[in-house]
Structure 1
Amino acid sequence: MKRIIKIKHLVWGMVAHVLLFHMAMAQSQGTPDLSRALKIGDTFVPPAGTQVMRGEMEAIDWELLENKVIILDFFDTYCGTCIASMPHLQELQDKHSDKLQIFNVTWQDKKTLAKFFATNAFIKEHKVNLPVLYSDAALKSLFPYRAAPHIVMIYKGRVQAVTFNRLLTEENVLALYHAGTIDLPSKNDFGEALALSSSAGNAIGNIKAGAWITGYQNGVPTRSLTFERDTVNGLLKSTITNRSIYRSLVNTWAQIEPREYFVTNQRVEWKVKDSSVYKDFEQNGEGWDSKFAICYQRTDFVNRDNVSQAKVVLSDLHRFLGLKSYWKNKVMDCWIFRPCTPKSGEAKALENTMKFEGSNALARFIGITGRFPLVMDQAKIPEDILVGSFSGIEELNIQLQAYGIEVIQGEAEFEVFVVEEDGCQ
């Protein structure tokens, strides 16, 4: 089937890339009664009247599951990450059905779910048929969350983990089954960062203002740089929680000098001993974060605007971490769009067609994907361009020549982001 996605400018290109490769997590609204929430080690008492559909269960006998690892996978039908992970969950269930029972859990009703599972081609293709606990309010009250997916691991009648979906691996399931316990990073969407100043103990006395940095804080949501004014004491608080050093630097720079492009790996130059401690290149998620992510907090009596405050934060990060970050221009191998005489030919249907408003939008989108070199647009075509799937420069060239664009390999100057450790040149 021919599919057209219209990419208006860079922002929409970024959105399309995120949808295709990462899929945003669905957000739930409101703050629940957290006093009812179960914690790690608490006894799990199954709620009465749980309703189940799909799978091979007509009803749930929780006692029969006591010797299995029980997984509660809280999801929404509009959560792309939730749906994308379901084939993996089905594989785990099929392979370890003697040790494991996975339930998809949602607040949504049976009619909505029946329609979704009947019409979703991805679910059908991967033969996903896990039992679904629907119209749920009781389990969510025990394990409240804001962002799905939200994973709960129960074993021997006790809560063993409340964690992230990327940590639901075969290795972790088997480790829990054999050891009886497991220590995983906690997902707490309502968690608050500990006062970073407290880590200094009594050494700082009654000091109210200053800057502190720590490692990963378990059970605290990830947070990019934010500025908040305390209405009681008037202090300005700048906070980063559980972010990689790289992302902390880029987010802070975005407050100072926003870029019109997405900073991909191709636009980063590392002058460090080991870049793997700065950025999660393998996308291991929370497992990596728990080892290398940082938390930062600064409190000030001084009233600064956001740009000025971000500069102060950047200076702190550089000083505390023993590095510096900056932008420079660099000549790089790339693709170049240049004008040519349009070549007419017989039009043909293309798969996964996208519509771009001009050659510049297409050039930026190609750079965002990370699959191809960066593109320097010298063609400057403003008209809409339809582009289907392509695997390289030749296939792209065939499509673009009809618009008067020729794609060649060459060199051009691009702005890159540099992360440099002290002593590394």
Structure 2
Amino acid sequence: MLLFTLAVHAGQTSSALKVGDKIALQKTLKTMDGRTIDFDASKPKIIVLEFFDTYCASCIESMPKLKALQKEMGDKIEIYMTTWQDHKTIEQFYKKNKYLKEKNGILPTIVSDSILHQLFPHKSVPHSVWIMNGEVKAITYADYVKKQYMSELLASAKISVPVKDDFKELESVVENNDLHTGTNNLLGYVELSKYNEQLEQKASVNLDKDGQGRAVAYFNNMDVFGAYLSLWAKIKKPKFFMLPQRIVWNVKDSSNYTYSDLNQQNYQEWIRTHGISYKRVQKTEMDESAWAKLMLADLDAMLGLEVNWKMKTMPCLVLKRVGKNKATAPRGDSKLLKVESTSSLTFMIDYSGGYPPAVDEVQEKIAFEVPKYKNLEELNHGLENYGVRFVKELREIEVLEFKERGL
């Protein structure tokens, strides 16, 4: 329940606040458990309003980390989850959510919010607002709610983090000619640049025309690995899930090309350092496959890479026919895993993780109904009636090699 109103300092033309704006509270704010929040009494703490809802999986996943941060920093910060959903909905969600209960991740929560959303409008959650000394210090991404940034703000009373503005009008890549002030005189050009805050992230082959009627192909703010993978998908339709084992890195440091959970930076920080944007302008129009081949060649040349599919022998899970299919008609049991073919079964194994690459040597359309399993032995037991079995053997399979020239 919200028990306060906000007085916005003179000079603002709308209710929405931005970084640097001052706010004055005329009344206090209460969380769903009755805790009173007094922004004035909280000085010089950092107040973090973390907007979320129960439909946002990443929001829920981050709550234990936020609670750990709250515990670590003590009374220097106060983190409040903030949602438009009502008291009953959130209370039931917290009561039933096993993940939050096991992780002890429930934080003080503001419910039935409409006023704060008007002050800090957004289209997507999580959405993070930091307030200190009555001033909005940051409106940013949840990835930046970390000790290093909180400590920096407390020490210097200022912070430099990206602004999350869901309503910002992004530049059109077609009209973005930062490197080419005289593009009307050019017959065509290729541009590869670093991450650009003014461009919306877009993968694969995006096609358009510029003001001169020239064909434009582009992608924006992609990691190098993701860019290559999305372009190759236009040429070579994927027949398997892209497991880490199917990537061969012959490079000095693969973290320059793809993000890993082991990285010390969060993704938002990493992509702003390592993301790339590409644009090619030319007279000739082509289909997506032809564009993709041309774009791959450009990336190879400008990044000093050779990225190609090759064959490599490695341990695999091979699906083999070992007997007749004795399975009866599907039972429709909701507790069983259902797949339509052997290729779908091998894809499911790859997608589940924790296993070597799966290879389908049966190639049949079979309506599988398999009990849920914890290991390979349990899975094979569930496949007995179908006369198929997964066996660990060496196979030569396709892998995508990233090779830096000179290595």
TM-score w.r.t. the length of structure 2 is 0.80
**Aligned match of 2:299 in 307, 314, 317?**
317
What letter matches 1:294 in structure 2? I
Q: Does 1:243 align with 2:222?
A: yes
1:54 aligns with 32
1:26 aligns with none
User: Aligned with 2:240: secondary structure?
Assistant: coil
2:330 aligns with none
What letter matches 2:337 in structure 1? M
Query: Any residues of structure 2 matched to 1:114-153 within 5 Å, and which?
Result: 114-153=91-130
Q: Does 1:386 align with 2:370?
A: yes
1:347 aligns with none
Distance 1:110 1:233 in 2: 56
2:21 aligns with 43
2:313 aligns with 331
What's the CA shift for 1:410?
0.7
What's the CA shift for 1:197?
5.8
What's the CA shift for 1:206?
5.7
What's the CA shift for 1:199?
4.0
Q: Tell which deviates more after alignment, 313-322 or 66-75.
A: 313-322
Q: Does 1:173 align with 2:173?
A: no
Partner deviation per Cα, 1:362-399 (whole Å, 9 max, x = no partner) = 221222233110111234461313142324x4443344
Distance 1:330 1:82 in 2: 40
Q: Does 1:260 align with 2:239?
A: yes
Distance 2:113 2:210 in 1: 38
User: Aligned with 2:23: secondary structure?
Assistant: coil
User: Aligned with 1:310: secondary structure?
Assistant: helix
Query: Any residues of structure 2 matched to 1:75-224 within 5 Å, and which?
Result: 75-191=52-168, 192-193=170-171, 198-200=177-179, 207=186, 209-218=188-197, 220-224=199-203
1:374 aligns with 357
Distance 1:185 1:304, change over 3 A: same
What letter matches 1:87 in structure 2? P
Query: Any residues of structure 2 matched to 1:283-322 within 5 Å, and which?
Result: 284-322=266-304
Distance 2:18 2:126 in 1: 18
Distance 2:65 2:276 in 1: 30
Distance 1:36 1:84 in 2: 31
Distance 1:237 1:147 in 2: 30
2:47 aligns with 70
Report if the CA contact (8 A) 2:249-2:401 is conserved.
yes
User: Aligned with 1:200: secondary structure?
Assistant: coil
What's the CA shift for 1:116?
2.8
2:346 aligns with 363
Report if the CA contact (8 A) 1:336-1:378 is conserved.
yes
What's the CA shift for 1:327?
1.6
Report if the CA contact (8 A) 1:52-1:134 is conserved.
no
TM-score w.r.t. the length of structure 1 is 0.77
Q: Which has the larger radius of gyration?
A: 2
Number of residues of Structure 1 aligned to a counterpart in Structure 2 = 381
Distance 1:35 1:296 in 2: 37
Distance 2:400 2:140 in 1: 33
Distance 1:287 1:369, change over 3 A: farther
What letter matches 2:140 in structure 1? T
Q: Does 1:340 align with 2:317?
A: no
User: Aligned with 2:179: secondary structure?
Assistant: helix
Percent identity, aligned pairs only, is 30
Report if the CA contact (8 A) 1:215-1:295 is conserved.
yes
What's the CA shift for 1:417?
1.4
User: Where does the alignment leave 5 or more consecutive residues of structure 1 unmatched?
Assistant: 1-33, 345-351
Report if the CA contact (8 A) 2:25-2:40 is conserved.
no
Report if the CA contact (8 A) 1:51-1:134 is conserved.
no
Report if the CA contact (8 A) 2:25-2:39 is conserved.
no
User: Aligned with 1:62: secondary structure?
Assistant: coil
Report if the CA contact (8 A) 2:205-2:219 is conserved.
yes
Question: Pairwise CA RMSD of aligned residues?
Answer: 3.3
Report if the CA contact (8 A) 1:50-1:133 is conserved.
no
2:331 aligns with none
User: Where does the alignment leave 5 or more consecutive residues of structure 2 unmatched?
Assistant: 1-12, 327-334
